[in-house]
Amino acid sequence: MVDTRPFLPVSSHAGSDPTGPSENRRKPMKLQLSILFVLLTVGFFAALLTSNNGSDNGFVKENEHGSLASPSSEKQLRPVSRGPAVGVSEKSNRLFAKDNENQLAYPWNNSMLSWQRTAFHFQPEKNWMNDPNGPLFYKGWYHFFYQYNPHAAVWGDIVWGHAVSKDLIHWLHLPLAMVADQWYDKNGVWTGSATILPDGKVVMLYTGSTTENVQVQNLAYPADHSDPLLINWVKYSGNPVLVPPPGILDKDFRDPTTAWLTSEGKWRITIGSKINKTGIALVYDTKDFINYELLDGILHAVPGTGMWECVDFFPVSKTEENGLDTSVNGPSVKHVVKASLDDDRHDYYSIGTYHEKNGTWIPDEPKIDVGIGLRYDYGIYYAAKTFYDQNKNRRVLWGWIGESDSEAADMQKGWASVQSIPRTILFDKKTGTHLLQWPVEEIESLRLKSYEFNQVKVQAGSVVPLDVGPATQLDIIAEFEIDNEALEKTTGSNVTFSCSSSGGTVERGALGPLGLLVLADDSLSEQTPVYFYIAKGSDGKLKTFFCNDQSRSSVASDVNKQIYGNLVPVLEGEKLSLRVLVDHSIVESFAQGGRTVITSRVYPTKAIYGAAKLFLFNNATEASVSASLRIWQMNSAFIRPYPNDKESQ
């Protein structure tokens, strides 16, 4: 039965008129322009799907030559914008085309496209996925909800997908958790967060896009709290519980956070928004998740950062090696504010001090404030969300990893996007400025045969093959020691270095680049370097950069070939260290214990299956390097539908 009293305490308004008080409700308005836009959008998607051979999953047949019989193999690609017109960030990949120019599609065949599907990263069986939503641990199961288009491999028609796991690695797909069936979420059941109440019950707040494209906040809860799978969800009859406040535009009010308790016993949430070009996080208090009070101030604001999406707010311990419940506060705690910037589609975070009394947060280092400083990940990674895992006393981070090939190729293969391997997240006590991200320990259960290489000498300008068999599914841990004499003798320079503008691994310096070539073929015509570059300034100080070069990752023309990376702090006495997870078309790389992380999507045409190889390389001009590695072949995770006879329980 539906639990009609899921909250503490129950509001006296729970059974009242669903339009409710004017400050918390807004009735739909029939604006002709909005209706016309919706009709045009529906017509566009219908035409798009019809052109895709009438298939609901985007697959097409091969012709007699083995290439895909699709318009994309014969015509120019025409990048299409998806999302901004209805009030969310850009969801289509348009980066590979300069100035949105048209490009010829690469003639992908089924063998190439089949290889791209990952083996141990979470993804639906087919179609489009984006933001992680409402992750939690409940009655022995990890729950993962996500933005999902059940109709196509492009963004649109967004509902909530749902999967469960016992270990965050092997997943079972469940029926859709919430669909767009009410006026307040008819144009999309968008991102939201879960809160577990003291009695163990769950509430979910999420953003809905109304029939008039107004962003409102809605409440949902499990139909049966005794069901560990949380299959059925009920939307509160009085939705929406929040509408944009005065001064906030209708399309600038989204993505409520997990709630935390104040010392007064109230629940507090924050919601992303903007005023002109200043990104802000609004703060609300509530006693029942139905009625809300908007605080006079804001949690934080940073001029010039634009719309803040998917805001996250959570505590980290300055002293302990474990995660903290979202409500924890005190002198041994720092707080993290993270925002996904609509303008550039990157996730930025900063560490600072939270003042509960007035609901504000101040960064420890204003120079690396939210949106202008540190990022979770310097590659493809967006809309990240954490949750406190009370099962293992850790905070776990999820992040959406989009595609960087063409939309046409995604439609051919029938799916788009994956989720990152869940990461634990801790305060870096050594730097005091960074967070440490690391793959959850459960990923190690997939390790198979291992290979060890100790003190491998890699001379300047050389490449060393590593015989580990097919290099498509790997877990790599490596350390590098640079020749001390070269470090001391190298002359400093005033020239500044940047991974993105450096020219990649072909540009040689005295002390780098050096690292690994993953997903490379024997001839190195395709390769993805994951590497360090050390720059010595005129003052003699060393700066270390961690980079990922996609410029030669594929011979295909319709894929993104950016160079990613950033500075990584390397403290006195530390060796250069990295961990790389290779899983077909995704490469997740962690430097210095997770201080700097880079995620890439890679689409080789030759370095696939048994032809994918792994190499050490050192393209420095002066320094030799000694490398020690341990490498595991990785098994595939079981990600499949939940048995049908269980779905009705």
> Could you tell me if 397 and 425 are in contact, meaning their C-beta atoms sit under 8 angstroms apart?
yes
**The CA-based dihedral angle spanning residues 14, 20, 26, 31, taken in that order and rounded to the nearest 10 degrees:** 100
User: Beta-carbon neighbour count of residue 115 at 10 Å?
Assistant: 18
Length of the chain measured in residues = 649
Is 131 considered catalytic here? Answer: yes
Judged by DSSP in three states, 506 sits in: helix
The C-alpha atoms of residue 330 and residue 356 are separated, in whole angstroms, by: 10
Residue among 56, 131, 288, 312 flagged as catalytic: 131
Phi and psi for 366 in degrees, rounded to 5?
A: -55, -25
CB burial of residue 183 (10 Å; 0-12, 13-18, 19+) = middle
396 and 386 in contact (C-beta within 8 Å)? yes
The single-letter DSSP state of residue 490 is: S
Count the alpha carbons within 13 Å of 537 in the hemisphere toward its beta carbon. 6
Instruction: Read off the tokens for 131.
Output: 């933001």
Location of structure tokens 């141990």: 120
Asked whether 299 and 281 are in contact (CB, 8 A), the reply is yes
State the DSSP H helix or E strand holding residue 48, giving kind and residue range, or none if neither: helix 32-51
CA 21 to chain centre: 36
CB 58 within 8 A of CB 414: yes
Nearest to 164 by CA among 126, 134, 205, 204: 134
Please list the active-site residues. Answer: 131
